[in-house]
Amino acid sequence: MRQHVNPLSRFFQLPLELPAPAELFADPQQPIHLDIGCARGRFLLALAQQQPAVNHLGVEIRRALVKAAEADRQALALGNLHYLFCNANVSLQAWMDALPAGQLDLVSIQFPDPWFKKKHHKRRVLQPELLLAIASALAPGKRLFLQSDVLAVIEPMVGLTEASGCFSRPAADAHPWRADNPLPVPTERETYVLGQELPVYRVLYERNEAPLPELAVLEQWLEATPEPTDNPLESAVPTA
């Protein structure tokens, strides 16, 4: 089963000051790929070896997974990869605000914890404030990639992203879902789901030049939007 951590508990509401790129990467000037909710981190471990000219940062709210992922990274002495423990909705905004303009190249959120019950939806990772922080940090043309195997999870993420007006889909991408993964390495969850011949729902966005909307506008949109129905798939496989 999925191992949930309640991001709204008091412990996870304490903001952490995250290290600057100069403290994380051997070459801090390289473009950055930020993977939010990286779980055990094996996806990024493989991707960082394939893409040495990109710095990869995985953030995860489950400390034990971050510790194990960091041990793997250190064993391979990868200077373009790092994992950090944090609550993305509490600690990432200040870190992204401090990045040089244009350095954040890609943000990915893949197979996030679903939090199926209506009363738990505020625990889902892509909240309006985090989306606005991502949109603020991404220069026009930079990318946001979302994927899940649960329609009831991906549809609100897509709806919120498009309601912001800050992102556009590449003209060549299929609708409503992209046919393939734009990244060369699948996550463990993706490999499992595809192996069961089940669908994966993917959307790639590019930051456009639209200004950020007010936070209250997105919060009101989210509150007013009816929840989609879905028959969720649960398994013992990690969610990312």
3-state DSSP helix/strand/coil percent for the chain, to nearest 5?
35, 15, 45
The residue with tokens 């930051």 is 207
The tokens for 31 are 């473009």
From CA 13, how far away is CA 5, in angstroms rounded? 12
Neighbours of 147 (CB within 10 A): 28
Which three-class secondary structure state does DSSP give residue 110?
A: strand
User: Which residues does the annotation mark as catalytic?
Assistant: 113
The tokens for 88 are 């993305």
Which three-class secondary structure state does DSSP give residue 112?
A: coil
